[in-house]
Amino acid sequence: MAKNRIVFIVWLLLWLAAWARGVGNMAGGILLASALCAAAEIAAACALRKRLTAQLSAAVSCRKGEELPVTVTVANSGLLSCLRVQADVQCRNLLTGEVTHAAACLPAAGHAKAQTVCTLRPRHCGKLELTLTALRVYDMFGLVGAKKPVGLTAPSLVLPDVWPVELTVSERRSPDMDSSEYSMYQKHSLEAVGKDGSPAGAPAGSSGKQRHSAGAGQHR
C-alpha cells in the first residue's frame, strides 16, 4: 500500500509540474481528474465496508507442522463491487500462548459471496483460537484500506506427531517363577526335604533325636 501511495503522489507531481510550466489545460485536467477519482474510490471503499458480512470456519484438527486451512466467506449486500478485500486472521495457541497472523485477499462483487482460504502452519500442539479480526476494503488505486472490525472466532486442535511402533512377540522358552505353569522340579525339591529339615521318608523329629543322642554320648 505504501508503494501505491508513492507512485500516485509521483503521478500527481508530474502533472502538476507540467501544468505549472504552462504545457496546456490537458495537464491540469488530468491532475484534477486523478485527484477526484482517488477521492471517489476512497469514499466508495469506506461506504462499502458497511455492506460486508463475514463467516469463519476451520478444520477440526491438524498435525503439528502441517497446514491448517482457514476458510473466510465474505458477502456483499451492496450494489458496488470491490476488487480487493483483505481478511486478517489471528491464530492463538491457548496452551503455549503463541500468536501468529495471516491474511488473504479476495474480490467482493455486488450482491454476491466470495470465499478465500488462509493457510496456517502451527508449530506446537494445543488448542487453537482462530479469530477473524478485521476486513479491509481497498480502493482501486490501493491507497487506503477501510477497516471493518469483525471478531469472529473458530476453534481448532493441533495433534502431536504419531510414530509407528513395531512389536515382536516371541515364545518364552523358560517359565517364570510366578508363572501359572507347574514345575515338576520344584515339586520334587520340596518333597526331598521335610519341614523340619529331615530327608523325605524319615520319621518326623528323627534328625533331632540323632543330634540329642550324640550329645548325650559326649557328656558321658
Phi, psi of 42 (to 5 degrees): -65, -40
Residue 80 domain-assigned? yes
pLDDT given for residue 20 in this prediction: 77
Mean pLDDT of 56-60: 92
Distance CA 220, CA 210 (A): 16
200 pLDDT above the threshold of 60: no
Among 23-37, 137-151, 206-220, which stretch is predicted with the lowest mean pLDDT? 206-220
171 in a structural domain:
no
What pLDDT does residue 183 have?
Answer: 56
CATH code for the domain in which residue 80 is found: 2.60.40.10
- The answer to whether residue 173 sits within a structural domain is no
State how far the Cα of 164 lies from the Cα of 56, in Å rounded to an integer. 35
How many domains are there within the chain?
1
Range of the domain at 144: 1-164
What's the whole-number mean pLDDT along residues 110-115? 90
Position 184 in a domain: no
Contact call for residues 146 and 45 (beta carbons, < 8 A): yes
